[in-house]
Structure 1
Amino acid sequence: MYLLTYTKRKRANKFARLLFPVIPHLIDFLIAVQSLD
C-alpha cells in the first residue's frame, strides 16, 4: 500500500514538472479566449 502511494506520488511529480512550464501559456490562452468572447 505504501509502495503504491509512493509510485503514484512520483508519477504526479513528473506530471507536475511537465505541466509547470505550460501553465503561463495556458493562462495567456484563457485570457485571449475571454477577450475574444
Structure 2
Amino acid sequence: MLKTEGPLRAHFLLERLIDHARRGGAYLPFKANTAYVNS
C-alpha cells in the first residue's frame, strides 16, 4: 500500500486505525509523534 498510495495515505490510514481502536476501548500506548527534534 505504501508503494501504490504513498506515505501520506499510509499515515492517514494508520491514524484512523489507531483512533478507531482507541474509541473501541483498546489500550494503545504507542504514539506516532515523538519528542525528537531534527536539528
Could you tell me the TM-score, scaled by structure 2's length? 0.47
Larger Rg computed on CA atoms: 1
Higher helix share: 1
Larger relative contact order (CA 8 Å, sep ≥ 6): 2
